[in-house]
Copies of this chain bind each other. A is one copy, B any other.
């Protein structure tokens, strides 16, 4: 165990010993989107030193969360993928992503946007109850990053890249957060140029209902 133990016989404390170190959960977040090579992870995690990434991957492998797999024939090299146990961290990552999104305001100077962070954000903010009877594919383009979400009656699949069968294509910037948080209405977002649409433009209302960032609770609600 690289990290110092917390000295408690407790599942929660043990979990923190396993995935509580710096960068670890960000690596898991990226691998939840799909298997990745070492260099892919390096690029998706701006600022992570390569030796730290090496150490974290080894710790995750020792913990049975990640395993190394040889890439299929045409390519060479290895990819890192989540084990079933590691994939079960999705509920944790999504819950933490929802919690953090409430407190998100404007981007800081120089902050990056990666496909993996956007896929996670969309998956975490999805409201299954609001998606009953909805069948639609949304394509998003935010800050030069393309991703898409297929909604299928309460279920969802989010992935990186542009689909060829999108019902609605949304071109946006960081302001899309304000739309998902309900700070601006869909129609106002269109008028103000926060989003630009192609396809079935009326689906933007559906999008705004399906992907919701809950408001910050007021202190008075203590």
The contact of A99 among B3, B26, B92, B217, by CB within 8 Å, is B92
Tell me the nearest residue of chain B to A88, going by C-beta.
B99
Q: A84-B218, A84-B221, A85-B103 are in contact. Are A97 and B15 (CB under 8 A)?
A: yes
Chain A: residues with Cβ within 8 Å of the partner, total of 61
A111:B9 contact, CB within 8 angstroms: yes
A178 close to chain B: CB less than 8 A: no
Chain B residue contacts of A104, Cβ below 8 A: 9-11, 14
Q: Choose, from A71-79, A113-121, A150-158, A200-208, the stretch at the interface.
A: A113-121
- Return the contact of A12 from the options B5, B29, B217 (Cβ within 8 A): B29
Among the stretches A16-24, A159-167, A186-194, the one at the interface with B is: A16-24
Q: How far is the CB of A115 from chain B (nearest CB, A)?
A: 11
Offer 27 A-B interface pairs, CB within 8 angstroms, sorted by A.
A6-B46, A7-B112, A8-B114, A9-B111, A9-B112, A9-B113, A9-B117, A9-B174, A10-B100, A11-B102, A11-B124, A12-B25, A12-B93, A12-B117, A13-B100, A15-B96, A15-B99, A15-B103, A16-B100, A20-B20, A20-B22, A84-B218, A84-B219, A84-B221, A91-B95, A92-B99, A95-B95
